[in-house]
Amino acid sequence: MTTQLSRRSLLALGAGFGASAMLGSTALAKAPKLNTQTPYWHRFVVGDAEITVVSDGPLPLGDPSGTFTGVPKEEVKKMLVDNFMNPDNVVLEQNSPVVNIGDKLVLFDTGMGTSKMFGPTTGQQQKNLAASGIKAADIDAVVCTHAHIDHIGGLVGADDKPLFPNAQVYITQADYDFWTDEGKLGSPLKDFVLHARKNLLPVKDRLVFIKDGQEFLPGIQAIAAPGHTVGHTIFMVTSKGKSFSFLGDLTHHSVLLMEKPRMEFSYDTDPKQSAATRVKLLDMLAAQKIPVMAYHFAWPGYGHVAKAGEGFRFYPEPMNMQL
C-alpha cells in the first residue's frame, strides 16, 4: 500500500510533533542553569619554565571613537564589526603570566586591585591566583611593565599593605618618577598619579629599577618600549632555548592596533612615539617568530604575530590542556 502525504499534511504532522515534544520535554528541562564559568587561569610550559596565566578580569573601555584615534571612527567600527566584535564597547582583558623558573616565582603586572575606575569586573587577580594553587606569599618578584593603574593597582590591598609580602618589585625609574610625582596631582593625570602613589610608595623599600637590555632575573630580559609611558618596558622570557615576550601595553587590541599599528591610543603618554615603538618591536617579534603574550588581548592572550600587509595579525595559540 502506498501512502501519499500532501504538503498540508506534512506541516500539520510537524506541528503535532512540535507540540508533543514541548509537552513531553518538561520533565527533561528542569536542570538549573549553573551561572558559573571555568577557572580564570591557564597553565603551559616554555622550555623548562612553567607559565600560569591569571586574569584580573575584563576591563571595558566603552565607545572606541574617543580612545582609538588617527583613523576615521567609521573605519574603526567597521574593523570591529568585520571581526565580530562589539563596535560600541571595546572590552580588554588583563592577562598576567606567573613564571616559575625553578628558584624564582615571578609575576608580571598586578591588575586594577581595589580600584573600580573601569567598572566592577576587575580586581580578580588575587582570587584567580589562589584558584590556580599559587600563594601570594610565594611570589619572589613582581615585574611591572609600567605604572598605569591596571598594571600596578594590585601591589597593595585596601589597607595599603603589600599583597606580595615576600616579593621585590621591578620597574623602570623613569616610570616610577613620572607617575609618583606629587606635582602632577593638579593635572589631568591626577587619578593615575594617586593610584600609582598608593601602590608604589608602600613598596618603595623593595623596588629594584631595571634598565633596557638588562637580564635582571635569570632568563628575564628588559626591552625598552617607550611611548605608552615614558618607561614602558616589554620582557623576553627564555628557558632551555625557548622564549616568549610579554608585551604589556605595546598593543592594546588584537585587531585595531595590529591591523593599523600606527593608529593612536588616547592613554599613551606620547601616542606617536608609542606607534613607532609598536611597529619596530612587532616587526622584530614577527621576523624572529617569537611567541608573545599580550596583557589586553582576549584570554589568555598567548599566540604569535605575523606581518599582514602594512600591519600585523595575531594568531592565538590553542589552549593545550596537557603540560
Q: Digits of tens for pLDDT over the chain (323 positions)?
A: 444 545 454 444 444 444 444 445 555 557 889 888 888 999 999 999 999 999 999 999 999 998 999 999 999 999 999 999 999 999 999 999 999 997 999 999 999 999 999 999 999 999 999 999 999 999 999 999 999 999 999 999 999 999 999 999 999 999 999 999 999 999 999 999 999 999 999 999 999 999 999 999 999 999 999 999 999 999 999 999 999 999 999 999 999 999 999 999 999 999 999 999 999 999 999 999 999 999 999 999 999 999 999 999 999 999 876 66
User: Residue 70 in contact with residue 263, Cβ under 8 Å?
Assistant: yes
**Which secondary structure element, helix H or strand E, spans residue 27, and what is its range?**
none
Answer whether the bond into residue 300 is a cis peptide, omega within 30°. yes
Degrees to nearest 5, angle at CA 278 with 226 and 300: 105
Q: Which residue, chain included where needed, has cell 595579525?
A: 313
Distances (CA, A) of 204 to 67, 167, 183: 32, 12, 18
Q: What share of the chain is helix, strand, coil (3-state, %, to 5)?
A: 30, 25, 45
CA–CA distance, 286 with 313 (Å, rounded to integer): 9
The residues that bridge with 43 in the sheet, in sequence order, are: 52
Cell representation of residue 172: 623602570
- Global pTM value: 0.90
CB atoms within 10 A of CB 83: 12
